Amino acid sequence: MISILILGDGNVASHLYKAFSKVNTIVVTKKNSRNLTNIPNTDITILAVSDDAIAEVSSNIANSLVVHTSGSVAMTSLKNKGRKGVFYMLQTFSKDKNVDFSEVPFCLEAENEKDYALLATLAQLVGEKVYPVSSEQRKALHVAAVFVNNFTNHMYKTGSDICSEYKVPFAILEPLIKETAAKIEFLSPAAAQTGPAIRKDQKTINKHLALLNKQQQEIYTTVTKSIQNGN
């Protein structure tokens, strides 16, 4: 049996608790990180708290192995006196949407091989994709994830705004969004790139710019130049 304490009340903490609760070889407890009284002694303490709270909360934990779930915080930011590690899941978590952990990459880090093996065992009890990732590599993955997730979603929002302005359903774009995402399972992003920017079709680019407001024009121009420069 592996005993786990999850500290936190956000989306990550809630989804992890739900997943671990379904495994009969795991005993899991979840507590609010603002209430650190009567902390149970467990094999692994997982801090699913905000990045700014990791150092302070970890400094108050006496359990032997403490890990955090952040993508951008170094393992050394943990201030507990015991062993340290990272249990980072590279996925977007929403409150009311179920998570298929078999599709979630677990990016793990630990101070020694024994603790890494324990974290890997824990990840494999709920998921399938496990990767050893250093703090520096994890920071790079996190910023890459901002581009492919947060920035891409903002592009969806911009596209939705344009559709609304010209009174066409955004749903017309949904098959294109799905096909674009599906293509990179078989092609590199560079090979999958299409559109007027990569073709250097300036007439079409000018027509597009004429339809957009100033902020949209700035985004369109910046991304077009990046595509054409191969960046």
Q: Do domains 2-133 and 138-229 have the same CATH topology?
A: no
Assigned CATH for 2-133:
3.40.50.720
Whether 231 has a pLDDT exceeding 70, the answer reads: no
- Domain residue extents for the chain: 2-133, 138-229
Ranking 66-70, 97-101, 163-167, 207-211 by mean pLDDT, the lowest is 97-101
Average of per-residue pLDDT across 199-207? 96
Assigned CATH for 138-229:
1.10.1040.20
Average of per-residue pLDDT across 107-117? 97
Contacts of 167 (CB under 8 A, 6+ apart): none
Q: H/E element holding 130? A: strand 129-132
Phi, psi of 42 (to 5 degrees): -130, 165
pLDDT digits over 24-82, tens only?
Answer: 999 999 998 887 888 999 999 999 999 999 999 999 999 989 999 999 999 999 999 99
CA pair distance 77, 175, nearest whole angstrom: 43
How do 129-132 and 105-110 pair as beta strands? parallel
CA distances to 55, 126, 158 from 142, in Å: 19, 22, 23
Q: Could you list the beta-strand ranges (E) of 32-110.
A: 44-47, 65-68, 83-89, 105-110
